[in-house]
Amino acid sequence: MKNKYLLICMAFLCLNLSKTYAQKNDMFYGTIETEYAVRLKKLAPNDIKIISSLNGYSAVKLSDKAAEKLHHMVLTHGPGFIFEKSEAQALNTIRNHQARRQQKTASYSISEDQLVNQGIALVNNANIDTHIRELEAYGTRYHTTQKARQSVLDLKQKWETISSGRTDVSVKIVEHQSTSMPSVVMTIQGQDLPNEYVIIGGHIDSVSPERETNAPGADDNASGIATITEVARVLFQMNFKPKRTIEFMAYAAEEVGLRGSREIAEDYKNRNVNVLSYVQFDMTNYKGSQKDVYISDDSYNSTALNSFLASLMDHYNTSGDHKFTYDYTRCNYGCSDHYSWAQQGYPAAFPFEASFNGSNPYIHTTRDTSDRFPTANAIHAAKFAKLGLEYLIEVAKSKGSVTTPSYCTSKGNNVSDEYIQNVTIGSINNNSSAQTGYQDFTSQNTELKQNTSHTISITPKWTGRSYKEGYAVWIDLNQDSDFEDAGELVWSKAASTESPVSGSFSIPSTAKLGKTRMRVSMQYNKISSPCGSFNYGEVEDYSVTIAEGGGTDPDPDICAGVPQYNANQNYQTGDRVVYFNTLYERTSSGWRRIGTCGTTRTNSLDVVPTLVNNNEVILVSPNPLKGKVFSVQVQNELWKHKKVTIYNANGKLLHTISMKNNKQTIDITDFSSGIYFISLSNTSNTYTQQLIKE
Ligand code: BES
Ligand code: ZN
């Protein structure tokens, strides 16, 4: 049945393609797996010319006869080749296959449980059902017809209606070169990372032997468009504001060779749009197999994205109201628009309604209608809407949501002999009993001022004999989610039987202002390390908020009340400013250094001609980066006690460099092309430069 239908559809496809794009001698260009190209060459040497082969794929020129032979070789699956407009395009495709292999895998995480659970509970299958019927009612959406164009314009209107009132949403018609039918794209602008795109799409056109008048395309692909629309509707109902940009796409002319999606994906690639990943919805409402969702694992799809979709379903759909099952299947050819994205090197996936062989047998016929769906009320498609929401919310994430930093774990394995009974510092005075060897008290917080002495007191509890205990207290002073940086072990005490133990430390002026973590550890007979487990004792985590200090200092601070230097201001002789924790006074020839803030003394009285403008504190050359190294120069005193940090465009910390000199060379061989930021902070300012690696 499937074979027959595919053969018919194949013959139709070739007919159609050859009509539109016939080359001399009725040969046309394509890309196919090299294995098939070679076999075909043996079978019909005059009907195929292998132009070039790269990593298992070949750019070929082939005849209809060859195409038909190929279809038989590939058996149940589609044409077995991808139609290409020109030799150049065929060559480009095989090059892109290679590029995709080298593509870096995006990092996916599941963290938005609350929003996702809220969203999937709002999915309404009746909306999908109604929308499928509306699309079916055009009679045909074959790409050359007026009805097809109208269906796109109406969808634009529908998307505008569901997004009305949202100034961060736009809906646009995209006209094409290769078809008279337009596509439509809806964009929700990302709030924090607008240049990173997360896209879902499907084709809105349809086909059948009576394509001009009767091609209802209820499953292929009114179901996908209705599914995508319900995903969008739910996001708007939730008033979801994504961190990254989300797009919804309904394509023209998929059925005649992925034309709309191909033009759009090419355009995104040409404009260098950073599409993190793409998911296709094409045929979502015909439950023709045992399991519910079938992830297609064709070689051109992204394995990382596929396993992310699987983990989303493992996480959100294994029990309760939203339970459904999944498995894997394969088209074995570029069977839908996700292939257009994959071809441009973007990670793509295609979760499908059934196994390839179990899928809707009526597609591409006049019988692809909603009365033939085996399950009622679009309940099958609703599962795909849920998966779509899970995918969009977890990849785009919500506005302002940051991946919570994770500190290393640490604990005592046994608290039966001793544990921490009390920790007192600032406003924290916490009594606790023996639980496990680790307790999270980060909901308790105290303010600690910079340049001020603070006392911590820890009381051990011995259940029997008094053992010797070693103590350590760390504070993540630079807020980089570890306790490893210099000075972060703020206090420690060698093993003793003293009780309570106490000691003082001060928070340096270089510590980052704001809330951070303090770890208190008591270990039998030893001073602990910040990470890992040990036999006897306990670890407790707290929060501390580092605040600007000096308030309790009995000595007046020479900088008290003096404003920070502002590069945009014109200063007069006698004006005083604070610059890098140092007090300066304007003279007729420059700036006289009076002394270090936090002191009453005045040090050397040298004069510096200028204070560096903020945007010149860090000098980087060359920029854009070239070659293996670049040099970074810090134009003030900050290099002496600070680290230069390099982040990628997502804000991920990549490198921390301790400056040994005010100028240093940094190795960038491990940097891939893209935008980076190099930055340096003191307590009041962060100086950042953008780096571009070409
Ligand atoms: N929805 C189908 C693809 C499909 C059909 C996937 C059956 C899985 C099972 C899509 O609209 C389509 O018909 N695609 C064409 C390929 C394209 C390159 C013209 C096809 O499969 O023939
Ligand atoms: Zn389709």
- How does pLDDT run across 498-518, given as a tens digit for each residue? 999 998 899 998 888 888 999
pLDDT at 10 over 70: no
What pLDDT, on a 0 to 100 scale, did the predictor assign at position 552? Answer: 44
What pLDDT, on a 0 to 100 scale, did the predictor assign at position 667? Answer: 85
Per-residue pLDDT tens over the stretch 643-655: 888 888 777 888 8
Pocket of ligand 1 (CB under 6 A): 9, 13, 78, 220-221, 254-255, 257-258, 282-283, 331, 334-336, 352, 356, 359, 363
Tokens of 492: 């420690």
Dihedral sign, CA of 662, 664, 670, 675?
positive
What pLDDT, on a 0 to 100 scale, did the predictor assign at position 68? Answer: 75
Domain residue extents for the chain: 19-95, 113-396, 410-547, 557-610, 614-693
63: Cβ–Cβ under 8 A, 6 or more apart, which residues? 25, 26, 27, 44, 46, 47, 48
For ligand 1, atom 19, the nearest C-alpha belongs to 257
Confidence of residue 101 (pLDDT cuts 50, 70, 90): very low
Q: Hey, what amino acid is at 510?
A: T
What pLDDT, on a 0 to 100 scale, did the predictor assign at position 107? Answer: 61
Answer yes or no: 364 catalytic: yes
CA-to-CA dists, residue 440 to 10, 361, 688, angstroms: 63, 57, 34
165: Cβ–Cβ under 8 A, 6 or more apart, which residues? none
Statement: 614-693 belongs to CATH 3.90.79.10: no
Q: Hey, what amino acid is at 682?
A: N
Per-residue pLDDT tens over the stretch 149-167: 999 999 999 999 999 999 9
Residue 120: helix, strand or coil by DSSP? helix
Per-residue pLDDT tens over the stretch 35-83: 788 888 888 888 888 888 876 788 889 887 777 777 666 544 456 677 7
Instruction: State CA 226 to chain mean position distance.
Output: 26
Give the number of the atom of ligand 1 that is nearest the alpha carbon of residue 339. Answer: 18
Please name which ligand lies nearest the alpha carbon of 358. 1
List the end-to-end C-alpha distance of the chain, in Å, as a whole number. Answer: 53
Q: Hey, what amino acid is at 441?
A: F
Confidence of residue 9 (pLDDT cuts 50, 70, 90): very low
Per-residue pLDDT tens over the stretch 207-253: 999 999 999 999 999 999 999 999 999 999 999 999 999 999 999 99
Asked whether this chain's domains 410-547 and 614-693 adopt the same fold, the reply is: no
- Out of 10, 206, 255, mutate this one to test ligand 1's pocket (max ligand atoms within 8 Å of CB): namely 255
Number of neighbouring beta carbons within 10 Å of residue 528? 24
Selecting from 3.40.50.12780, 3.40.50.720, 3.40.50.150, 2.70.50.30, what CATH number does the domain 410-547 have? Answer: 2.70.50.30
Average of pLDDT values for 3-12?
Answer: 39
250: Cβ–Cβ under 8 A, 6 or more apart, which residues? 152, 155, 183, 184, 185, 201, 202, 203, 204, 225, 228
One of 47, 196, 254, 540 is an active-site residue; which one? Answer: 254
The C-alpha atoms of residue 146 and residue 463 are separated, in whole angstroms, by 85
Dihedral sign, CA of 150, 155, 161, 165?
negative
Based on C-alpha coordinates, what's the Rg of the chain? Answer: 32
Tokens of 628: 């293996």
Average of pLDDT values for 134-144?
Answer: 98
Name which residue leads in pLDDT, 97 or 616.
616
Q: Ligand 1 centroid vs 346 CA: distance in angstroms?
A: 20
Strand duo 193-203 + 274-280: pairing: parallel
Q: Ligand 2 centroid vs 9 CA: distance in angstroms?
A: 12
Name which residue leads in pLDDT, 268 or 92.
268
DSSP for 177-233, please give it: SS-SS-EEEEEE--SSEEEEEEEEEEE-----TBTTTBB--IIIIIIHHHHHHHHHH
Answer yes or no: 134 catalytic: no
Confidence of residue 657 (pLDDT cuts 50, 70, 90): confident
Average of pLDDT values for 178-185?
Answer: 97
Which DSSP letter does residue 425 get? Answer: E
The C-alpha atoms of residue 193 and residue 213 are separated, in whole angstroms, by 45
Average of pLDDT values for 414-438?
Answer: 94
Q: Ligand 2 centroid vs 371 CA: distance in angstroms?
A: 18
Q: Ligand 2 centroid vs 203 CA: distance in angstroms?
A: 6
The C-alpha atoms of residue 618 and residue 613 are separated, in whole angstroms, by 10
Per-residue pLDDT tens over the stretch 302-355: 998 999 999 999 999 999 999 999 999 988 888 999 999 998 999 999 999 999
Answer yes or no: 282 catalytic: yes
What pLDDT, on a 0 to 100 scale, did the predictor assign at position 206? Answer: 97
Tokens of 446: 């105290």
Give the number of the atom of ligand 1 that is nearest the alpha carbon of residue 359. Answer: 9
What pLDDT, on a 0 to 100 scale, did the predictor assign at position 559? Answer: 83
pLDDT at 555 over 90: no
Report the CATH superfamily, name and number, of domain 113-396. Answer: Zn peptidases (3.40.630.10)
Per-residue pLDDT tens over the stretch 395-409: 999 987 755 557 888
Per-residue pLDDT tens over the stretch 348-367: 999 999 999 999 999 999 99
Q: Of 565, 571, 601, which Cα lies nearest the Cα of 587? A: 571
For ligand 1, atom 18, the nearest C-alpha belongs to 257
- Out of 335, 352, 357, 364, mutate this one to test ligand 1's pocket (max ligand atoms within 8 Å of CB): namely 335
For ligand 1, atom 20, the nearest C-alpha belongs to 335
Q: Hey, what amino acid is at 162?
A: I
The C-alpha atoms of residue 160 and residue 170 are separated, in whole angstroms, by 8
For ligand 1, atom 4, the nearest C-alpha belongs to 335
Answer yes or no: 315 catalytic: no
CA angle centred on 273, ends 680 and 351, rounded to 5°: 115
What pLDDT, on a 0 to 100 scale, did the predictor assign at position 265? Answer: 97
What pLDDT, on a 0 to 100 scale, did the predictor assign at position 681? Answer: 76
Highest mean pLDDT among 293-302, 557-566, 604-613: 293-302
Dihedral sign, CA of 193, 195, 201, 204?
positive
pTM: 0.55
Per-residue pLDDT tens over the stretch 572-604: 777 788 887 888 888 777 778 778 887 766 555
One of 97, 364, 380, 454 is an active-site residue; which one? Answer: 364
